[in-house]
Amino acid sequence: MKVKFKLFCNISTHLVLIICVVIALFPLFWILRTSFGSRMQALTIPPQWIFFPTLENYRAVLFGEFPRYLINSFIISAVTICVTIIMATLSGYAFARYEIPYKENMFFFALTTRMGPPIAFALPYYLLYNRLNLLDTYLGMILIYMVYNLAFCIWMIRGFFKDIPKELDEIAMIDGCSQIGAFARVSLPIALPGIVTTAILSFIFTWNEFFYAMILTRKATQTYTVQMPAFIGFMRIRWEEMCAAASLALIPVVILAVIGRKRLIRGMTFGAIKE
Amino acid sequence: MFSASKQLKYYLILPSIIFLLVMVIVPLLYTIILTFCNYDLTKPQQGIVFVGVNNYVALFSNTRFWYALFRSVYYVGFSIGVSFVIGFGVTLLLGGTVRFKSFYATALLIPMIMTPVIIGLGFRFMYHPDFGILPYLFSLLGIKNIDLLGNSQWALISIILTDIWQWTPFVIAVLYAGLGYLSREPFEAARIDGASHFQVLRYITIPLMRIPIATVLVIRSMDAMRAFDKIFMMTRGGPGLATETLSIYSWRVAFAWFKMGDASTMGILMLLIIIAISNILVSIITKG
Amino acid sequence: MVSKRDKKRLICTAVTLIMIIMGSSPTLFAAELPTKYKGVTLRVIESETTPLFAMKELLPEFEKKTGIKVTVEVYDEVAVRDKMVLDFTSHTGLYDVSFLQWWFVPEYAQAGFIIPLDHLMETKSIPGLLNLDDFLSPILEGLQVGKVQYGIPYWYLGGMLYYRTDIFDKYGWAVPETIADTQEILDKFKSIKKQGQYDKIAGWVGRGSKEFDSFGSIAGFAWAYGSKLLNDAMEPTLLSDPRWKQAMNKWVSFMKDHGPLGAGNMTWYDAYNLFMEGKALMFTETSDYGADFTNPQISKVTDKAGFAVGPKGPAGNHIQWFYSEGFGINSDISRQKKEAAWLFIQWRCSSETQLKEAQLKKVGRRFDLCSSKVLQSVQYMEAARKAGAEDYAKGILETIKAADPSYWPSIPEFAEVAESVATQFSGAIAEMNTVKDALKNANDDVYRILEKAGYY
């Protein structure tokens, strides 16, 4: 009897999980499916479950304007993350190891950039960038995304460094390392997976960002998030091409998520929950 | 030993501090100042005019603002409420039996990392009354001719459903991790004492999981309060005012009508609300 | 042997003949384009609509003849306005020629973003190039503020009724001339649908979305009942004028009871696409869809589309959808650029250029022109016939005769006012509130906006 009950629990657990997974993955599946179908298939119901896939939509998207926007997104995100992570690693280490007055207040204030409504920051930046001719420039976008990410990265990396006992550094310094040396040779390598995860998470958030991109870019540096709705605009509504574009845009984030899956949850909870 | 490095530590953090000071504090101050001014970009001759608290007064007497605020609160409440119940339920069901770092974990990550814009457009496609897959599935269940985004009663709920879809995995992941940290003892003791499942839940599980629950609620409510991308992609606030939350309304005031003073006021109010929510939630839950 | 005198006569005759042919040919410019602005670059900002495609086809000729280089930046409608306003307010001086939608002209003019064209019109016009008599005065008025001309139109749209000739013929329905007729047909169609046919076809489509452009549909429909938004004291009349209630009840009923699912979110291109795919019976909208509806490459109703002037309402007015678009000149640029810009505008809006647009082969071809001289010319009809759009061209002529913008609130606060009104009725269509509530809320909102702007 007890065995049966345990088996039932097991099966029902897995059943629940499978249902969750199906629900979680269905929209992505649907987008992919539409992207490989023709216009007819996108617009007919009942849907044809089995059909001959076509690469026509991908061809149309790749030979159109869209890759340019993907590249813009990539340039902006990549540069932002690189600079931010370097700054955050150094600062995070300092905050973790040393006594700095008003630490917590500073953090809370800085985190408002991440938690606050985008409108509160987009407005002054819109007006200021206008004056400084920074609208629609790579520099402008990188700066604003650095603001968006820096506080968060410092917070997270500080947490990772705090997990490493001070003693390890002290031992290294006793062995003759300078402070920088202790940092570079002992703490940094241990904290590296965490730092990488933070970088991945920041990249994902920057890649996915819409509001600042919409307000602060025009033609030259426009990111793909702002261009997505253009597939369903005037003249014709091209859902199937939009799905192809979406699939392409999701590739980087999916890959990154799979790579960093172990600690992503910790990142999303601002370090409160450790796995 | 470490304090001898006074100069080093400041060198390490100075770039970041200066950067954040300039790039965060200054614009924020600018926004706050703007809340006390009228600044209409389409009337440049007037420029920036100081009007004291007029913007706040006008905002509080503007019914559209209250509608939008109500809708934002409704959005947050519905979204966190449902995703919390589902998330907690699933967590309890799994009860620590499944290793989360597996295929399931990766699959459940997908909704969280998908671009909100793509989720918005994707669901708009799936919700479409003519060729969307979801109305079709509903019709198989006998519910015909529903209009998920065009009916004022259902539009907001349909959008909230996408938010729930996206973030319930997050709730599950956090609560599950939290549950995993609890020791078995209190549960064993309760079982020996003959407590029912419900009593265990109420008096042991939930209090012990205060921190993960608080974390989830705070982060989710902050994010839901600011939600913009999905709503913008699906309905832009329509039909009528059915899905116009504060974020959508403030966008419109700022970038369709170019009224910077009024929009700043809304932005600052939203920021204050978010700070208040997080403070309240944290204190309520971590006090007990 | 041809004598010298005969030779001379021959040459004279030949030259005269050539000059007669040149003078009477409509495809050559009646006026010479000057080259004194050679080397100037003009930066034009425009939104992505049909006149843009037409202009792009003809632009190389202008550039060659005048030596002026014209660069055109194109965005979608919403982004264009945003970019233009930003450029104006920050005086970055990115553009010389701005695309003007008539409803924003009061706003831009009041703010001093664009210059009045009267001085240029008087002193720098090339005789014979741009003949303003070719335009009917309502169309010119669209781009005026208090009798001062701020832009020259190259596009005029009126309220046109599009309908399915095949379905009408099948049931023997006549083209509706009044709103009452329209109601009758819609009811008949609905009962036919109840019997199972035409499941996918909606009786009526239109702009139900809350965006400000739906205001054009709402106000144009209300004008058929004789109501306009603002009275002479600039106060909103939604509550004080009972005809508004009748008009809006009818409008909301058309959209809600005879429209497709999701009518409350429908934008103009949803409606346009639905008809083009054969999923709509009839609707009144701006008159620019005909060229696409009769284009076999994109339309499924190529030979089934009918065109007529918008039906009349109880007040005897046709349902309007007045819209005029043109070019204006920015105030922040040099004198020489302003003159070069004026030359460009004259060329672009001239009747000759417009006729050429109708004669383009496929790309950019359009028939919704605004020069009544062109619309009544033989060549225009010929071009329309060749493209299979003869009925459409006739329809355009009818609508232009019925053009009447007097119902419009031409005020700088237009954007916010229009959106407030459109939002309320979009909500009524989506059953968020009743028409009565919508009227009251819209009235209060408009009053509040205008009060804050200092009107009373």
Chain B nearest-CA distance from C262, in A, is: 4
Chain C nearest-CA distance from A181, in A, is: 50
| Interface membership of B280 toward A (CB under 8 Å) | no
Residue C19 has pLDDT above 80, yes or no: no
**Each residue of A155-207: pLDDT tens digit?**
888 888 888 888 887 888 787 777 777 778 788 888 888 899 899 999 999 99
3-state secondary structure string across C259-324: CCCCHHHCCHHHHHHHHHCCCEEEEEEECCCHHHHCCCCCCCCCCCEEEEECCECCCCCECCCCEE
Count Cβ–Cβ pairs < 8 Å, chain A vs chain B: 267
Handedness of CA C129, C131, C134, C135 (dihedral sign): positive
Residue A104 has pLDDT above 80, yes or no: no
Each residue of C92-127: b (16+ CB within 10 Å) or e? eebbbbbbbbbbbbbbbbebebbbbbeebeeeebbe
Q: Strand B48-50 to strand B37-39: parallel, antiparallel, or no bridges (unpaired)?
A: antiparallel
- Assess if residue B3 is contained within a domain: no
Residue B275's pLDDT is what?
A: 87
Residue C157 near residue C51 (C-beta atoms within 8 A): no
Q: Is the peptide bond before C51 cis (omega within 30 degrees of 0)?
A: no
Question: How many other β-carbons are positioned within 10 Å of the β-carbon of residue C373?
Answer: 15
Using CB atoms, which residue from A42, A128, A232 is nearest to B27? Answer: A128
- DSSP code string of A243-265: HHHHHHHHHHHHHHHHHTTTTHH
Mean pLDDT throughout C289-296? 87
Q: Distance between CA atoms of A92 and A85, rounded to whole angstroms?
A: 10
- Assess if residue B16 is contained within a domain: no
Residue C2's pLDDT is what?
A: 56
How many residues are given for chain C? 456
- Assess if residue B2 is contained within a domain: no
Residue C28 has pLDDT above 70, yes or no: no
**Strand order of the sheet with strand C159-164?**
C202-204, C280-286, C159-164, C305-309
What pLDDT band is residue C164 in, cutting at 50, 70 and 90?
very high
Residue B275 near residue A112 (C-beta atoms within 8 A): yes
Chain C nearest-CA distance from B150, in A, is: 4
Residue C362's pLDDT is what?
A: 74
Contacts of A135 in chain C (CB under 8 A): 86
A86's tokens: 């370097």
Q: Distance between CA atoms of C285 and C298, rounded to whole angstroms?
A: 19
- Assess if residue B134 is contained within a domain: yes
Residue A53's pLDDT is what?
A: 86
Mean pLDDT value across chain B: 85
Residue C454 has pLDDT above 60, yes or no: yes
Using CB atoms, which residue from A17, A28, A93 is nearest to B104? Answer: A17
Residue C26's pLDDT is what?
A: 43
- Assess if residue B141 is contained within a domain: yes
Residue B1's pLDDT is what?
A: 44
- Note the pTM of the prediction, 2 decimals: 0.88
A33's tokens: 């499916």
- Assess if residue B46 is contained within a domain: no
For an interface test with B, the pick among A43, A171, A247, A273 (most B C-beta atoms closer than 10 Å) comes out as A273
Mean pLDDT throughout C127-131? 83
Mean pLDDT throughout B229-233? 93
Verify whether the Cβ–Cβ distance C428 to B240 is below 8 Å. yes
| Interface membership of B48 toward A (CB under 8 Å) | no
Using CB atoms, which residue from B43, B150, B255 is nearest to C82? Answer: B255
**Each residue of A16-57: pLDDT tens digit?**
888 889 999 999 999 999 999 888 888 887 777 778 888 888
- pLDDT above 90: percentage of residues in chain A: 31
Residue C405 sits at φ, ψ, to 5 deg, of: -90, 15
Using CB atoms, which residue from B104, B178, B247 is nearest to A273? Answer: B178
C4's tokens: 């010298």
Query: Pick the residue with more confidence: A154 or A234?
Result: A154
Residue C259's pLDDT is what?
A: 92
User: Of the candidates B162, B151, B150, which has an alpha carbon nearest to the alpha carbon of residue B75?
Assistant: B162
Contacts of A219 in chain C (CB under 8 A): 73, 75
Mean pLDDT throughout B159-176? 91
Q: Distance between CA atoms of A58 and A35, rounded to whole angstroms?
A: 7
Residue B112 has pLDDT above 80, yes or no: yes
Q: Distance between CA atoms of C172 and A19, rounded to whole angstroms?
A: 55
Query: Pick the residue with more confidence: C164 or A51?
Result: C164
Chain A nearest-CA distance from B287, in A, is: 17
Q: Which residues contact C244 (CB under 8 A, 6 or more apart)?
A: C222, C225, C227, C237, C238, C439
- Assess if residue B25 is contained within a domain: no
Verify whether the Cβ–Cβ distance B118 to A246 is below 8 Å. yes
Q: Distance between CA atoms of B188 and A143, rounded to whole angstroms?
A: 54
- Assess if residue B215 is contained within a domain: yes
**Each residue of C425-448: pLDDT tens digit?**
999 998 888 999 999 999 999 999
For chain B, how many helices (H) and strands (E)? 15, 2
Contacts of B24 in chain A (CB under 8 A): 109-110, 112-113, 147, 151
Q: How far is CA B90 from CA A12, A16, A20, B86, B172, in A?
A: 11, 8, 9, 6, 7
What pLDDT band is residue C306 in, cutting at 50, 70 and 90?
very high
Using CB atoms, which residue from C48, C49, C86 is nearest to A130? Answer: C86
Contacts of A127 in chain B (CB under 8 A): 30, 260
Using CB atoms, which residue from B108, B130, B268 is nearest to A120? Answer: B268
Residue B246 near residue B69 (C-beta atoms within 8 A): yes
Mean pLDDT throughout C71-92? 82
Q: Distance between CA atoms of B46 and B33, rounded to whole angstroms?
A: 17
The mean-pLDDT minimum among A68-72, B17-21, B278-282 falls in B278-282
What pLDDT band is residue C25 in, cutting at 50, 70 and 90?
very low
Residue A32's pLDDT is what?
A: 92
Q: How far is CA C200 from CA C68, C162, C231, C434, in A?
A: 52, 18, 42, 27
Residue B103's pLDDT is what?
A: 75
Q: Give the angle C250-C252-C255 at the CA atoms, nearest 5°.
A: 110
Mean pLDDT throughout C28-33? 61
Residue C27's pLDDT is what?
A: 41
- pLDDT above 90: percentage of residues in chain C: 46
Cβ within 8 Å of C, B 138-197: 145, 147, 149-153, 155
Q: For chain A, how big is the Rg over CA atoms in Å?
A: 23
Verify whether the Cβ–Cβ distance A44 to B131 is below 8 Å. yes
Residue A235's pLDDT is what?
A: 61
Residue type, A228: M
Q: Strand C144-145 to strand C280-286: parallel, antiparallel, or no bridges (unpaired)?
A: unpaired
CATH of the domain at B148: 1.10.3720.10
Alpha carbon C400 to chain centroid distance? 10
How many residues are given for chain A? 275
Mean pLDDT value across chain A: 84
**Each residue of C212-238: pLDDT tens digit?**
999 999 999 999 999 999 998 999 999
Q: Strand C144-145 to strand C148-149: parallel, antiparallel, or no bridges (unpaired)?
A: antiparallel
Q: Distance between CA atoms of C204 and C320, rounded to whole angstroms?
A: 16
Mean pLDDT throughout C87-109? 88
Contacts of A31 in chain B (CB under 8 A): 118, 122, 125
All domains in chain A, ordered by first residue:
59-268 (1.10.3720.10)
Residue A186's pLDDT is what?
A: 81
Q: Is the peptide bond before B135 cis (omega within 30 degrees of 0)?
A: no
**Strand order of the sheet with strand C152-157?**
C69-75, C41-47, C97-101, C323-329, C152-157
Using CB atoms, which residue from A130, A218, A234 is nearest to C90? Answer: A130
**Each residue of B132-164: pLDDT tens digit?**
889 888 888 888 778 888 888 889 999 999 999
- Domains held by chain B: number: 1
Mean pLDDT throughout C77-105? 85
Residue C244's pLDDT is what?
A: 94
What pLDDT band is residue C32 in, cutting at 50, 70 and 90?
confident
User: Of the candidates B72, B84, B88, which has an alpha carbon nearest to the alpha carbon of residue B224?
Assistant: B72
Cβ within 8 Å of B, A 117-146: 117-128, 143-144, 146
Which range of A112-121, A147-156, C41-50, C96-105 scores highest in mean pLDDT? It is C96-105
Domain that holds residue B68: 54-285
Q: For chain B, how big is the Rg over CA atoms in Å?
A: 24
Each residue of B178-193: b (16+ CB within 10 Å) or e? bbeeeeeeeeeebeee
| Interface membership of B96 toward A (CB under 8 Å) | no
**Each residue of B62-94: pLDDT tens digit?**
889 999 999 999 999 999 999 999 998 888 877
